Amino acid sequence: MLLSKPATASMQRLQGIAVSPGVAIGEALVMDNEGFRIPRRFVARDAVENELERLEQATAAAAAEIQANRDAVARELGGQYAAIFDAHLQMLTDPKLRSELETLIRDKHFSPEYAVSRALRRYAKVFQGLPSGSLSERANDIFDVEKRLLRNLLGRRREELAQLTSPVMILAHNLTPSETANLDRNFVQGFVTEIGGPGSHTAIVAEGMEIPAVVGVGSFLTDVSGGDLVIIDGHQGIVILQPDDETVAQYRKEIEQYRSLAARLESLRDLPAVTGDGVRIELLGNIEFPYEVDHCVERGADGIGLYRTEFLYLSADIEPTEETHFDAYSRVIRAMGNKPVVIRTLDLGADKLSQMPSPEEERNPVLGLRSIRMSLRNLPLFRTQLRAILRASALGNVRVMFPLITTLLELRQARMILADVIEDLDEHHIPFNREMWVGMMVEVPAAVLMIDRFVEEVNFVSIGTNDLVQYSLAVDRGNKDVAGLYNSCDPAVLRLINMTILAAQRANIPANLCGRMSSSTTYTQLLLGLGLRQFGVAPGAIPEVKRVIRATNIPQCEAIAQKALSMENARDIKAFLRDELKKVASD
């Protein structure tokens, strides 16, 4: 197959779903299904001849592999089945391709890997855009040739995300929560994925790491090569490939404006979160990793409202020991002094845990064996975590919280296991806090409908809007195709939140809200008006939420909440809330 040279690539603007705020500008690291990392973009001028020789050797090796495959298939299946390898060989040795690669290396000083990736992905895109199905499928043949050449150039190395040595922007089809949790935050400046939706665990981890992230962009990896310049706008969900100079300058100016705003907000650090009419609000940090406690302290958090413990399970291939749990919890508790630290027990499904056997035929994991259900099914795992939490409670103001509680029976079973562990620690004279508070997350509509009974059996509740939205509206929070239906200010969701807060008030116990909703200033006045007095927010959002709290007052917020509760659709409610926000925080 002879290849015609496609047009020169130009700037592309892609729209995805913003899941972690911030703007980053940098070079792309493209992760395909085989995890190839396309290394250095440029080579030294005096190394060009050696690099051309390396490409020559890799091409010869790849050609030999293709010929060997062709001969083997021809012997086994016949010549007609081996024809595909002839096409691959023709592509690999095409003089026009060879000439283009040589030009990219000799004139632009691209590394052979980058030149191969850039040239062949552009060819692939041309075929993918053809209307004929048979011709568009030729793109897969080009990818095959690209991978074969890269394997030979890279010596079959598989670069790992954990082995980065320079700043990069990760562009991938998908990143699992464990891959995201293991990203090296010293070098990863942001990431973009083709799939995924708001509220996914991957998105939560990105926010915790405070790196800009956009998901659900759709297919775009064929349009970009490793080393290409990329802009990630985590505020607007925009990704710009190969931006022109004007666009880069515009975003650099935006980055400076954000830095300036952040510097101004630093002055709020030591001021309490008090409304204009004097009502004290508790601003608690939500964290995933122990090091995030430092971010909470730096921003003046009143405690930790949600300490997710999933990273302990996602960052290793073996189940964490009691000491692993205890060390992680101790780090956070000591940093917070006497301030409260709410530790949530494991909130993952078996499908996310490499240590656990996958449940057979679990076709819908979000409705399956996850969170408290899995802990109650795997008592040794649950008891190990509870022992560590109880031991850590001797170090400070620790509270334990059970996720995804749906029935009273589940709550009582969890409390019974906790009582067993307490008895065991007692027998061995191991110190712990006997008065440790026990709470539950409210994130299932069934729990809201029974909330008047639940509040009689816990010390506090925390509304998890990420799942509450998902389960109330029947929208998969990780599915980009229904992302538009995933809306925190849907009238039904607001009523469920309102019911929970009112029930907690009647029972005289604290109610927190720890979903992503509380980190967005769009909802701050609404939640205050509904009666919320504790906010669990991402550390990076603490200053902005505090600014809005200090700029408003409760009667004003109550009026906003009443109007929002009377409205009929999420679109109008969101527009109304944004208008109200502008009145107290215009920039």
Among all residues, which ones are annotated catalytic? 201, 514
Distance CA 446, CA 456 (A): 16
Q: Which residues, at least 6 apart from 132, have a Cβ–Cβ distance to it below 8 Å?
A: none
Distance CA 158, CA 561 (A): 53
Torsion sign (Cα): 129, 133, 138, 139: positive
Question: What is the rounded radius of gyration, in angstroms, for the C-alpha atoms of the chain?
Answer: 27
Break the chain down into helix, strand, coil percent, rounded to 5.
55, 15, 35
In this structure, are residues 213 and 203 in contact, taking their beta carbons and an 8 Å threshold? Answer: yes
Distance CA 528, CA 511 (A): 12
- Identify the residue whose tokens are 């562990």: 421
Q: Among residues 512, 518, 542, 546, which one has the least CA distance to residue 298?
A: 542
DSSP per-residue letters across 488-550: TT-HHHHHHHHHHHHHHHHHT--EEE-SGGGG-GGGHHHHHHTT--EEEE-GGGHHHHHHHHH
In this structure, are residues 187 and 165 in contact, taking their beta carbons and an 8 Å threshold? Answer: yes
Count of beta carbons in the 10 Å neighbourhood of residue 261: 14
Structure tokens at 561: 């909440």
DSSP per-residue letters across 3-67: -PPPPPP--EEEE-EEEE--EEEEEEEEE-TT------SB--GGGHHHHHHHHHHHHHHHHHHHH
What is the total residue count of the chain? 587
In this structure, are residues 182 and 31 in contact, taking their beta carbons and an 8 Å threshold? Answer: no
Distance CA 371, CA 413 (A): 14
- Identify the residue whose tokens are 């002055």: 267
| CA diameter of the chain | 85
Beta strand 23-31 with 229-233: parallel, antiparallel or unpaired?
Answer: antiparallel
Alpha carbon 153 to chain centroid, angstroms:
32
Q: Among residues 440, 472, 446, 476, which one has the least CA distance to residue 458?
A: 440
Count of beta carbons in the 10 Å neighbourhood of residue 26: 17
In this structure, are residues 231 and 214 in contact, taking their beta carbons and an 8 Å threshold? Answer: no
Residue 71, beta-bridge partner list: none
Structure tokens at 419: 């009582």
Return the H-helix or E-strand segment holding 287: strand 282-287
Beta strand 229-233 with 213-215: parallel, antiparallel or unpaired?
Answer: unpaired
Structure tokens at 470: 């998902």
- Identify the residue whose tokens are 């170090």: 395
**Count of alpha carbons within 13 angstroms of residue 57, beta-carbon side:** 10
